[in-house]
Amino acid sequence: MKIKKNRLLRRTLFVLLPLLVLLACTIRRNNYTPYTETAYYKETINTLQQQAPLITDGDTLQVGWAKIDITPPAPFPFAGYGKRLGMDYTEIHDPAYVRTFALSNGKQDAYFIALDMLITPMTLTAALNDASAKAGLKPEQLYLSATHTHTSFGGWGENLMGWVMAGKYSQEQVNLTAAKIIESIQLAKANAEKAKVGYGKAFAGHLVGNRLNGQESVRDTTVRFIKFEQADGDVGVLATFSAHVTVLPSKQAILSRDYPGALIDALEKEVDFAAFSAGAVASHRPLYHHGDTFMSVDSLGIQLARTIVPELDAVQMSYTTRLGYSRLPLQLPDAEFRIGDNYHLAPWLFHSLFGNYPAFVSSLQVDNIVLLGAPADYSGEFMKELEQQATQQHQQLIVTGFNGGYMGYLLPSRHHGLDAYEARDMNFYGKWGGDYLTAIFRQVMQKHAAPQAPAR
């Protein structure tokens, strides 16, 4: 009997020990150390002190714009919903574009790029870095953004989760998209003229809701836009809004720009050129009344245009000589893809599934307008405190997401315990990720409010 018990014990240990070793290698306890006490925060702040934004006063600002179709022909993989599992679109309702603004004050050039894509993929950022160097450009001159439509093309995601979100990877398509972005930069630059610049706002609270907890008081309800008016009278508008671009359903097989496409089409009946970039969308959903249909897409886009158009004539326009930009590398904490309340996958396992890519904060300054680019779905709940700082510093602020890196959803730390998709499945960097990026944003804003730096 004793021999049988010993055999059973040995067999049990033989099974359990490998399982315990596997758990020890793949599961970690969550780290709740405040970000201000961490090495990654201190290293990023130190980098900012060494690599302040490049801001110059030169000649009168020149602005040009251009758009190029970047749509792969059907069939081609979608990007936007994991439940599609690599599904192709079979029809194109309205094509995807890259829309670019070229800005120059004679001392330096910068480019604002808006892509009709889910995000600016990290693989595309890498390809653009190479293409930029060949075109005589520095990567930090390119301020990248995306509309965040969930019904645009994929083919840009490496690793398992890249396939889940964006279908089969195509290096050829990534390279082609990068080449078209460079082409749009060159066309916009060729079309540049002296231009006045102005900042505007419109209210659209009836078109956006808080999808985390439904609290109406914690929303970013503002449509923010920049108006450019060239010397010959042509007008270009760059608009942002914080409602997720998720009107159309996941299972329909039709590529579309979703409501930003309808917004741009409506605006371009009033102005010569328009572009849209997703704002701080992480906590926010669109509000519409005709179901998940193209009718809702058109209705929402037209309503947003109707909030902007009446404000265009009221925008105070002026010539400026000030232009600045930066791309600040972000040191990241260990990835925390959560399993339950207190544990997460080991970082090595997370990166094997999702990839391991660099992240950075982008900034672009035109006169006193400061644009900040987040490598994430960034929460609109942070906008109130950021705008308060901007007002104190005599700045006008615009925040856009999807700048060429990706950190998942970045929410206020108070939401960490929510049993919600944004706070659990898409929270890649722990409790403090959103607060950390917001603190870095505030530091970058201060640098843009400081006296201009000499040109490097």
* pLDDT on residue 345: 83
Contact 436, 35 (CB under 8 A): yes
Average pLDDT of the segment spanning 425-447: 95
Catalogue the E-assigned strands of 264-405: 273-278, 284-286, 322-330, 338-339, 343-345, 359-366, 369-373, 377-378, 396-400
| Confidence label for 21 from pLDDT (cuts 50, 70 and 90) | very low
pLDDT at 14 over 80: no
pLDDT given at position 13: 44
- The pLDDT value given to residue 342: 86
The C-alpha atoms of residue 80 and residue 118 are separated, in whole angstroms, by: 6
Distance between CA atoms of residues 388 and 410, nearest Å:
20
pLDDT exceeds cutoff 70 at 7: no
pLDDT at 16 over 60: no
Tell me the mean pLDDT in the region 400-409: 96
Quote the strand ranges of 119-244, DSSP E. Answer: 142-146, 152-153, 193-203, 208-210, 222-230, 235-241
159 vs 27: CA distance, rounded Å: 20
- Domain extent, residue 288, equals 1-456
Q: Over the stretch 121-146, which tens digit does the pLDDT of each residue have?
A: 999 999 999 999 999 999 999 999 99
Closest CA to 76 of 9, 138, 152, 3: 152
Q: Which helix (H) or strand (E) holds 111?
A: strand 109-115
Q: Which of 31-45, 354-368, 393-407, 412-426 has the lowest mean pLDDT?
A: 412-426
Residue 218 pLDDT:
82
Q: Please determine, for residue 86, whether its predicted confidence score (pLDDT) is greater than 80.
A: yes
Q: Note the pLDDT of residue 350.
A: 84
User: For residue 18, what pLDDT is reported?
Assistant: 54
pLDDT of residue 214: 72
Q: How confident is the model at residue 215 (pLDDT cuts 50, 70, 90)?
A: confident
pLDDT of 272 = 98
- Which range, 108-122, 208-222, 408-422, is most confident? 108-122
CA distance 261 to 128: 24
Claim: this prediction has a pTM higher than 0.85: yes
Residue 28, both tokens: 């970690």
The answer on pLDDT for 76 being more than 70 is: yes
Least confident piece of the model among 124-128, 189-193, 311-315, 446-450: 446-450
Within a 13 Å sphere around the CA of 25, how many CA atoms are in the beta-carbon half? Answer: 7
Q: Is 20's pLDDT higher than 70?
A: no
So what's the pLDDT on residue 236?
98
At 239-292, the pLDDT tens digits run: 999 999 999 999 899 999 999 999 999 999 999 999 999 999 998 999 999 999
Q: Per-residue pLDDT for 309 more than 50?
A: yes
Predicted confidence (pLDDT) at residue 397 exceeds the cutoff of 70: yes
- pLDDT over 70, % of the chain: 93
Which pLDDT band, with edges at 50, 70 and 90, does 447 fall under? very high
Whether residue 11 is predicted with pLDDT greater than 80 in this model: the reply is no
Query: pLDDT digits over 345-377, tens only?
Result: 888 888 888 889 999 999 999 999 999 999 999
**233 or 339: which carries more pLDDT confidence?**
233
Name the least confident of 210-224, 228-242, 315-329, 435-449. Answer: 210-224
Tell me whether residue 445 is exposed, middle or buried, using C-beta atoms within 10 angstroms of its C-beta: 0 to 12, 13 to 18, 19 or more: buried
Distance in angstroms between the alpha carbons of the first and the last residue of the chain: 83
Q: Estimate the crossing angle of helix 294-312 against helix 259-267, to 10 degrees.
A: 40
Domain count within the chain: 1
Average pLDDT over residues 143-155: 98
Q: Which of 162-171, 207-216, 300-309, 441-450 has the lowest mean pLDDT?
A: 207-216
pLDDT of 452 > 70? The answer is no
Nearest to 405 by CA among 159, 158, 122: 122
